[in-house]
Chain A
Amino acid sequence: MGGWLRTVWRLRVGRAVSSEPAFALMLVAPTLILLLLFGVFPIGYSVFVSLLQWRLNIPGVPTFIGLGNYARMFHDPVFTASLGKTLYYSVFAVVGTIALGLATALLLDRQDVKGKAFLIAVLVVPWAVPRVSAGLMWKWIYDGNYGILNATLLHLGLIHQYQWWFTGSQWVALSLVALTQIYKDSPFAAMLFLAGLQTVPVHLQKAAMMDGATRTQRFWFVTLPSMRFVLLAVMILETTWALKTFDLVYVLTGGGPGNQTMLTYMYVYRQAFSYLDVGYGSAMAYFVTFVVFVVAFGYYRLAGHAG
């Protein structure tokens, strides 16, 4: 800072920030401006866009159609089908991530397990790998012509010939995509759970042991309740991540084959940025936003009851 700047700073800003609230406001101002200009304003603007028939690739003026895009949504079979797929996908990913994350954390937390530093390093790897890279490698594993999943299953005698996993049942296809999400997200969940396990009061564990509680009982009645907040945090994170999953689906299936794995979020992207139907895309984006917030609020209420 130059000398004159410093003087201005002292005289003007220095005096203004002498009160705590003013100082605090100055510190949050950059993020606040960023949020207003590029968060609040765009979202307001897109309310307006969602009421228009507006395709960027078709010349012409956008026309006002009121709630037309919202009505269209519920008559669009791809969209309505995507809702069930998204629900299935999210439940699968959340349950899988919590189960694998918790199991990993419990194993790492054992006194008699050695090599924890190595195991933690192992967890960091899939967490850091970009979703696109993870998607590509799982796509190669699942490949119908040369994939090692086929080779392994054939070798074990579980299948009789190579399969194209995404073209059969949509539930199989969705499960396989969700499995990659579990692969990507459960390491972070495990780290959070491991941290949560450190907060379980030792005296409670001891007391339960004295009262003759079995290991299973202690897990359900002492360990889990003590880490309910971490559990809830992982549930919220993973649910919103699953509802907003994009990279993995984009790379693994692109929503196909056909619309087999067209999750709602992916469909919004397709409409808005592949077909450039920004009006319809905005309306659907609003619907997704609404669902995400309802779910987040539901968890929030759950947290209130738990606490």
Chain B
Amino acid sequence: MTRRARSSAAARVERGLAYLALAAIVTFFLLPVLWMAITSVQPYALLTAVPPRVSFAAATGQNYADLLGDPKFRRAVTATVVTSVLSTVLALLVAIPAGYATGRLRFAGRAAYLFSILTVQIGPAVAFLIPLFLMMQRFGLIDTYPGLILVFVLFVAPVAVWLLRGFFAVLPPGLERAARMDGASRWRAFYQILLPLGTGGIWAVVLLIFISVWGDLLIPLVLSFSRVVTLTVVASGFSGEQNINYGGASAVAVLSALPAVILALAFRRHLIKGVTEGAVKQ
């Protein structure tokens, strides 16, 4: 009895410690985001207070008003939305068939194909961007949507193929055979039977691709100058100043993070499920 009491006391202490550790982790992950959100609505005078002071009474939307009134920022919003949406859609259009084929069909060169698309994923982006920049300059694709989107698709399609391949591979075997027996073509077996079954995985991939395109800096930094400058490029511009306007920087950081965070929270079940299936598969 006493032993049991002692062990339950130990379990309680341990549980308390676990919660303490989790509280520290949650603080580490959320505090910077909160601090950024708070900073974005503080008047300038408070940002330069030592020690730091926060006043919710003095909260101001000035930083946001400045941004929304800036045509450069508004153009960047458009550019980011257009690029992210189109890149995601196009990458899926090419990656879904390829993911299906590599996951469920047998053909010569499958392993070689999978390995070679992986090299784009593993290889450093700058190694590709230097020649791509020179090529695009020649064909007038610098600072255009087609140029930017093309490069994004190139960089996100491989990982999409690999992930989708996993999702299709775990579906029950023999589905195609059954469909074919019923007289469906290979094509119909793919898009009418297998594709609907793979949608859960596809949503996880949509989220992963969208988040990585939305948040990328290097590619638009290299390939755009004025017309298709994205939010990340505008946001990074704040960091180069001599005296950084942290109110404005925080506002732009918040606005460029918001859509990604909302989307990620909305789709998190798919993400976790996708990740779990990927891990279990091995």
Contact = CB atoms under 8 A, between A and B. Distances in A.
Interface of A: 14, 17-18, 20-21, 23-28, 30-32, 34-35, 38-43, 45-46, 49, 100, 103-104, 107-108, 110, 112-113, 119-141, 143, 145-146, 148, 151, 154-155, 162, 183, 187, 191-192, 194-196, 198-199, 229-230, 240, 243-244, 246-247, 250-252, 254, 265, 268-269, 272-273, 278, 281-282, 285-286, 288-289, 292-293, 296
Given A137-B33, A198-B279, A42 B128 contact: yes
In terms of DSSP, what is the predominant structure of the interface of chain A?
helix
A254 B239 contact: yes
Interface of B: 11, 15, 18-19, 21-22, 25-26, 28-30, 32-33, 35-36, 39, 47-52, 93-95, 97-98, 100-102, 105-108, 110, 113, 116-117, 119-120, 122-135, 150-151, 153-154, 157-158, 161, 185-187, 190, 211, 214-218, 221-222, 231-232, 235-236, 238-240, 244, 246, 249-250, 252-254, 256-257, 260-261, 263-265, 268, 271-272, 275-276, 278-280, 282
Given A28-B98, A43-B131, A107-B22, A195 B279 contact: yes
Contacts of A196: 279
The 3 nearest A-B residue pairs measured at CB? A130-B215, A128-B264, A42-B131
Given A23-B105, A230-B282, A31 B157 contact: yes
A151 B51 CA distance: 6
A289 B95 CA distance: 24
B36 A133 contact: yes
A286 B127 CA distance: 7
- Chain B binding surface, main DSSP class: helix
B134 A45 contact: yes
A42 B271 CA distance: 33
Given A140-B249, A250-B217, A43 B128 contact: yes
A129 B33 contact: yes
Given A43-B127, A128-B211, A31 B161 contact: yes
A147 B187 CA distance: 59
A229 B134 contact: no
30 contacts: A27-B100, A30-B94, A31-B157, A42-B128, A42-B132, A45-B135, A46-B127, A46-B131, A49-B131, A123-B29, A129-B33, A129-B261, A132-B215, A133-B36, A133-B256, A135-B236, A136-B36, A136-B235, A137-B36, A146-B246, A191-B271, A192-B279, A195-B276, A243-B124, A247-B232, A247-B236, A251-B236, A273-B221, A282-B127, A292-B123
B106 A198 contact: no
Given A145-B48, A183-B28, A127 B264 contact: yes
B36 A140 contact: yes
Contact of B98 (A27, A119, A243): A27
Kindly name the residue among B106, B124, B135, B221 whose own CB sees the greatest number of chain A CB atoms within 10 A. B124
B222 A273 contact: yes
Given A146-B49, A195-B278, A21 B106 contact: yes
A138 B32 CA distance: 7
Nearest to B232: A132
